[in-house]
Structure 1
Amino acid sequence: MQQQAWSGPLPPPAVLGQFDSVVDNGAERIFRSWESETAHRQSMAQRELTLYWLTIFSAKYSHSHSHSCSFC
């Protein structure tokens, strides 16, 4: 039995190709999963950044446009 380890999101190409002998289209499935997870992380980071700026803008806008209307 042999054990291998690597650092990074994907195994080296030679090792990645060996997954095809274990599972049909194993290398492609691993790569597509990595692509999907990367897209999800980027989307979440963009949402977080958008919410941050909306919060900053909202706070500045509410302070600069405050009024004394008691029912608003």
Structure 2
Amino acid sequence: MSAGTLRSVIKGTGSSLPRTRVSNAELSKKVDTTDDWIVERTGIRFRHIAEDDETTSSLATEAAQKALSVAGIDASE
């Protein structure tokens, strides 16, 4: 392969997160911690929790569909 040969390109990207978002404040009601403690140590303010109907494959499928849409490519191609 020569230095100038283009073999592939990224035409679109997509992402997907579980629908349920839990804040540190909500979490601190269930466990012995605080928002400040979590943020200081991890930088995390929210986390997404998958529901029973959300799987890694369903999230990956949604992300792939978004990437194809951004790229202007039909899934059948």
**TM-score, length basis structure 2:** 0.29
Determine which structure has the larger helix proportion and give its number.
1
Q: Determine which structure has more spread, i.e. the larger CA radius of gyration.
A: 1
Which fold has the larger relative contact order, with Cα–Cα distance below 8 Å and residues 6 or more apart in sequence? 2
Higher fraction of strand: 2
TM-score when normalising by structure 1: 0.30
